[in-house]
Homo-oligomer: A and B are copies of this chain.
Amino acid sequence: MSVLVVGSVALDSVETPFGKADDVIGGSATYFSASASHQTPVQLVGIVGADYPTEKLQPLADRGVDLAGLEHADGESFRWRGRYRHDLNSAETLETRLGVFSHFRPKIPTQFRSAKYVFLGNIDPRLQLEVLKQVEKPKLVACDTMNFWIESRREDLLTLLKHVDLITLNDGEARQLTEQSNLVQAARWILDRGPHTVVIKKGEHGAFMFTRTSVFFAPAYPLESVFDPTGAGDSFAGGFMGYLARTDDLSEASLRRAVIHGSAMGSFVVEGFSITRLMEVTRADIDARVADFHKLVSFDAKLPV
């Protein structure tokens, strides 16, 4: 099965303690697609300006990302400029220029409308709802969001929750949305409002997946060096959704493996700027990291006599 993603396609300029990159390709849909394309074909819907170096997206197209839904508009592309300090835990945004992204109205190409796996990247919940009107009968709809929409579009976001099966958000966003400081209670609050699955991402501290009957936890992979954290959350989502779409299996066991695939992709992307590492790694690398995750958390619960 292929997976449909709607989100931003941007140009990022990033500074970390280890280097600097200017106008490299970024955006939620870009990271998601680079990550998911290791598992399954991807259909991307987004918008870029006349200045976008579209040739840089060719490697994505070469790996099975269908760019038929990438709108080319007059004007400037979405640009983000940020900096990470030594601890790499949080980005300091130096500049955001939305450009054509501020007028984005997602148009789902006819051939994408039968998508069974849909990921609504972090855009205005009103647009996320518009996307849902354009798709036919997806098997799994997942969405992401952020603090800005939780503040400014709370009611729309709550409406959206009724129509999605799964939401991914980080721990701070989960607390902000639910006004619950405890993550178990926050997850329950969300589960009571629509989604059957909630994935709470804690960055370097791993990720929880809550369903109405289970809790699963995956650590972040203990890397010796993190080069650039940009895109980790979207790469996680891409690995997660890509795995589910590829296997077309929504059992608990499959969801757990999907979280680990997401975590694996998140651990790769931070090893370089932009999507560099995502384009380098092979399926064998991914499988090896999944096996490493298994070693990392495995223990035998049996007690000695």
Contact = CB atoms under 8 A, between A and B. Distances in A.
A226 interface: yes
Given A181-B87, A205-B205, A219-B217, A299 B294 contact: yes
Nearest to A226: B182
A222 B183 contact: yes
A86 B303 contact: no
Interface string A170-186: 00000000000111110
Interface in A256-302: 256-257, 259-260, 287, 290-291, 293-301
A172 to B, nearest CB: 11
B297 A291 contact: no
Nearest to A303: B287
Number of chain A interface residues as a range: 35 or more
Contacts of A81: none
Given A181-B86, A205-B202, A219-B219, A260 B299 contact: yes
Given A86-B181, A184-B222, A219-B206, A294 B304 contact: no
Contacts of A296: 215-217
A109 to B, nearest CB: 29
A136 to B, nearest CB: 26
Contacts of A257: 299-301, 303
B182 A225 contact: yes
Interface of A: 86-87, 181-185, 202, 205-206, 208, 214-219, 222-226, 247, 249, 253, 256-257, 259-260, 287, 290-291, 293-301, 303-304
Q: Which 10 A-B pairs have the closest CB atoms?
A: A256-B299, A294-B301, A205-B205, A297-B297, A217-B219, A184-B224, A184-B222, A247-B304, A217-B296, A291-B301
